A and B are shown apart, each in its own frame.
Chain A
Amino acid sequence: MIPTLGAFLQTVAVLVAASACGSLAVQPAVAGLRRLRVAPAARADLAVAVAALPAGAVVVVAVAVAFPGALDLLGLVRDHCDEHGGHGHLCLAHPAGAAPSLVAVGALAIAATLLRAARWVAARAAAARDLTALLRLGVRGAEGPDVVRVDGDTVLCHAAGAWAPRVLVSTRLLAGLPPALLSAALAHERAHVERRDVLARDLLAVLGFFAWPGVLSDAAVAWEEAAEEAADAAAAERFGGPLVASALVAVARLSLAPAPASMPIVGARLTRRVRALLDGPLHRPALALSAVPGLLLALVALAALNAEPLHHAAETALHLLFGA
């Protein structure tokens, strides 16, 4: 079976509809997530799971659409192509039923997604070059083997690098913080490194390609807040909440800058983090980011097991909506 271009593009249009359904579910899920009173590490993991909803919907429908044809290809089950009368027909092999409007939607979706992906890859490549150049100018080891010190006036205290994350600190920060606060700040950054947060943010960006543009921005903000609070909590386990809160305030004081006019509540995020540190740790449910791939696999298996009804449901929806 060789998929024809028209049939392929029509299938992509169906996946666009699946992405729309997944995208619709993201906003209420993010709102619910922010109300949850659980440990920030769990909230961060849940934010990734919520951001995976559109990608999950796309994967499930893709399996349902392609499964009958794939089984036919393997000679296991004969596809149902001959059984379609005037009914819509989702098939990778036969272009006859492909509706022109759906083919156009599929082509536009592929072009838009490729454009978004190319822009993101270009930005990531530029950032990776900048990071490499910065690391080359730095000195490793004095504050720990995972810390790179750079000689600069910018207040820099960052975990950077997706695959080989390191902590970057500037001499301005080292000169401006007393040793106890510096230890707490470095513990916060090491927590980002241990949690692989930079990689998780890249994962969120990739998941964004499966969602409608802009839909995941709230989920990304919710994840970022939760990841920062999770790193705060990890540092607080070692140094205590008040000392980590003091480090946050000290770093903010070092990098004190006029607040942008668009920010009505100045320092709201910092205030929330400080209060969370002073209030102590929250309950941490048994949930981990590592559960997300397993969940996706389970969804794929469920879709494969129910491929026939899902496939027919998609065809019926196409027929009703587009007369395809």
Chain B
Amino acid sequence: MDPVEALGPLEARVMDSMWTAGTGTAREVYATLGEEWAYTTIMTTLDRLHRKGLLLREKEGLAWRYRPVLARDAFERAKVDALAERLLGEGHGLGLAALVDAADAATLDRLAELIEARRRA
């Protein structure tokens, strides 16, 4: 699952509905979204979200019942982390965290001692 690339506009609406309701079948999501889209489109979108790893599903009679793999806030955290990692990896930001992360614990201890010694002096 890539949380950054995961959602198109309709997928976002469907996930929003799933996060609000907790679980749902294609028929229930179709009813929630005000029948703005065709029932078959909703069914296809739910299946696609399942294949992307965003929804789990289990059989309920003849239909599938879906539920989100991650809660909304966990999904958004994963998205933030994925976006942040990409920005840091591509070197498009400037900052403390980008340039000081190559030090090891021993170096950091030594530097902390140096700073403390200078403070005392």
Contact = CB atoms under 8 A, between A and B. Distances in A.
Contacts of B87: 127, 130-131, 134, 158, 160
Interface in B94-118: 94-105, 107-108, 111-112, 114-115, 118
A251 interface: yes
A233 to B, nearest CB: 14
Interface string A93-137: 000000000000000000000000000000110110011011001
Interface residues of A, number: 61
Nearest to B80: A152
Contacts of B119: 242
Contacts of B73: 151
B96 A259 contact: no
Interface string B49-85: 0000000000000000000000001001101110111
A256 B108 contact: yes
Contacts, number: 163
B95 A158 contact: yes
A155 B97 contact: yes
A13 interface: no
B93 interface: yes
Given A260-B102, A269-B102, A251 B96 contact: yes
Interface residues of B, number: 36
Contacts of B108: 249, 252-253, 256, 267
Given A158-B94, A158-B95, A251-B96, A242 B115 contact: yes
A256 B101 contact: yes
A83 interface: no
A170 interface: yes
Contacts of A248: 96, 100
A274 B95 contact: no
A192 B95 contact: yes
A254 B84 CA distance: 15
Say what secondary structure dominates the interface of chain A.
Answer: helix
A267 B104 contact: yes
A130 B83 contact: yes
A228 B98 CA distance: 10
Contact of A150 (B84, B85, B114): B84
A4 interface: no
Contact of A228 (B77, B84, B90, B94): B94
Contact of B84 (A124, A134, A251, A278): A134
A227 B104 contact: no
Interface string A239-261: 00010011111011111111110
B93 A158 contact: yes
A274 B115 contact: yes
A270 B84 contact: no
Given A130-B83, A130-B87, A271-B107, A159 B94 contact: yes
A266 to B, nearest CB: 5
A173 interface: yes
B13 interface: no
Q: Give the one of A151, A158, A185 with max B CB within 10 A.
A: A158
B92 A170 contact: no
Q: Which of A126, A245, A257, A274 has the most CB of B within 10 A?
A: A274
Interface string A154-182: 11111110000000101001000000000
A35 B101 CA distance: 25
Contacts of A278: 114-115, 118
12 contacts: A123-B90, A127-B92, A130-B92, A134-B87, A160-B87, A189-B95, A228-B99, A249-B112, A256-B104, A259-B104, A269-B99, A271-B103
Interface of A: 123-124, 126-127, 130-131, 133-134, 137-138, 150-160, 168, 170, 173, 185, 188-189, 192, 197-198, 201, 224, 227-228, 231, 242, 245-249, 251-260, 263, 266-267, 269-271, 273-275, 278
Interface of B: 4, 73, 76-77, 79-81, 83-88, 90, 92-105, 107-108, 111-112, 114-115, 118-119
- Nearest 6 CB-CB pairs, A to B? A267-B103, A158-B95, A152-B80, A267-B107, A158-B93, A127-B92
